[in-house]
Chains A and B, each alone.
Chain A
């Protein structure tokens, strides 16, 4: 029983991340919206790699696809790949300071957006605009706060 401690709380945080992803916002702000769902999945992969890994990322990516209307499977694939990288290296990443983590996460987010763009380009022929990469920057800026918040959340509810 102890093993499944707080699984509900993990799903709750993922649900909130999905809500933040689709919350209506002014157009100017929306361009800068961080990829909440991916950030939260990456946190849990880093903190509890045995509990949250590629399957969760895949499901969440699929839900993101459904919610945002991209071609089904595009986000699922990008989420899975990025989560795989983090899951393989979680011991190293954990030892970095939060600032270093944020920089590294910038790389992962850039990879995520490039994957998303490549796949969408092959499938629907979208054009690239540099503005698509704003979420990478905002994601990096948000990471330290999100990390702190989720760690408190994890310790508060003793999720393991």
Chain B
């Protein structure tokens, strides 16, 4: 019973300690460079939990595949073959165009676009917390994944890697409100920045003056100016433009192409060493 009487002040002291520790952690995580390493270590420490947590879903989808009827499998196979054929046809053309493009770029004396290595990764866990749009991927430093690596899916840019463990890594999505990337409007070539808002289907395009030529339906592509995302990948489509003359900038919203709330597989990009060569001379400035 003694324990009960001595609990009052003891609890307060413990709370004080806990609050101090938490505030310390927040400061370390938010305002120091160390936190990326710390996070990477912690991500790898807890990665077994992600594997266990996604087990029911894996089993369930495995079972669905098991019980899929023969006919449906055949149909799916035929459909996939057709898609493959069509895309291979397009790829032949693309190969030719790429060659032509690099020749033209060489003639112009500008840096060639490099098409780096790619790797398919599966999403282990998506955490839906509105304050952090992040996913955990099943590829880590053992597969050569590094921090700040761009991530795309079949329809557009998804995000970038923020911390890496040996067998899993954590990616920040473009919709997270701490994320922003440099984009270019396809129609007019205006360069701007698209930042996340913490909503799955909305980005905000910022710092566009009232006179800027942008309208609903404009495609926004990566500009490559952030030195992170390779140029030319689709990011979002402009969904709403509000002009208010009393404001210095327009309010423009865009919808990401990638379906960020239902991604299963993503493609990790290595933009290639050539791009780094191009960018590194700028760093001393």
Interface residues of A (CB under 8 A from B): 18-20, 22-27, 30-31, 33, 49-50, 53-55, 57-58, 61-63, 65-74, 76-77, 80-81, 84, 87-88, 116-117, 119-120, 123-127, 129, 131-132
Q: How far is the CB of B64 from chain A (nearest CB, A)?
A: 15
Q: Is A77 in contact with B23, judged by CB distance below 8 angstroms?
A: yes
Q: Is A22 in contact with B50, judged by CB distance below 8 angstroms?
A: yes
Which residues on the A side are within 8 Å of B177 (C-beta)?
A: 124-127
Measured between alpha carbons, how far is A77 from B20 in the docked complex, in Å?
9
Which residues on the B side are within 8 Å of A53 (C-beta)?
A: 11, 14
Contact (A66, B15) CB under 8 Å given A22-B53, A73-B22, A125-B177 = no
Contact with A along B151-195 (1 / 0, CB 8 A): 000000000000000000010000001100000000000000000
Interface footprint category on B: 35 or more
Q: How far is the CB of A30 from chain B (nearest CB, A)?
A: 4
Interface of A is mostly: helix
Measured between alpha carbons, how far is A67 from B51 in the docked complex, in Å?
12
Which residues on the A side are within 8 Å of B199 (C-beta)?
A: 129
| Surface stretch bound by A, among B25-33, B73-81, B95-103, B240-248 | B25-33
Which residues on the A side are within 8 Å of B29 (C-beta)?
A: 71-73
Q: Is A72 in contact with B26, judged by CB distance below 8 angstroms?
A: yes
Interface check B21, CB cutoff 8 A: yes
Residue in B7, B19, B49, B197 whose CB lies within 8 Å of A22: B49
CB contacts between A and B, total, < 8 Å: 137
**Nearest B residue to A31 by beta-carbon distance?**
B128
Interface of B is mostly: helix
Measured between alpha carbons, how far is A69 from B49 in the docked complex, in Å?
14
Q: Is B26 in contact with A73, judged by CB distance below 8 angstroms?
A: yes
Q: Is B11 in contact with A68, judged by CB distance below 8 angstroms?
A: no
Interface check B42, CB cutoff 8 A: yes
Residue in A63, A77, A124, A131 whose CB lies within 8 Å of B131: A124
**Nearest B residue to A61 by beta-carbon distance?**
B22
Q: Is B128 in contact with A74, judged by CB distance below 8 angstroms?
A: no
Which residues on the A side are within 8 Å of B11 (C-beta)?
A: 53-54, 84, 87-88
Q: List 12 A-B contacts (CB under 8 A).
A: A22-B127, A54-B18, A58-B18, A72-B35, A77-B22, A119-B26, A124-B178, A125-B177, A125-B178, A126-B177, A127-B197, A131-B130
Measured between alpha carbons, how far is A33 from B125 in the docked complex, in Å?
15
Interface check B230, CB cutoff 8 A: no
Measured between alpha carbons, how far is A68 from B43 in the docked complex, in Å?
10
Which residues on the A side are within 8 Å of B22 (C-beta)?
A: 58, 61, 73-74, 76-77, 80
Interface check B200, CB cutoff 8 A: yes
Q: How far is the CB of B36 from chain A (nearest CB, A)?
A: 12
Q: How far is the CB of A114 from chain B (nearest CB, A)?
A: 13
Q: How far is the CB of A44 from chain B (nearest CB, A)?
A: 15
**Nearest A residue to B127 by beta-carbon distance?**
A68
Q: Is A24 in contact with B129, judged by CB distance below 8 angstroms?
A: no
Q: Is B127 in contact with A73, judged by CB distance below 8 angstroms?
A: no
Which residues on the B side are within 8 Å of A66 (C-beta)?
A: 39, 42-43, 45-46
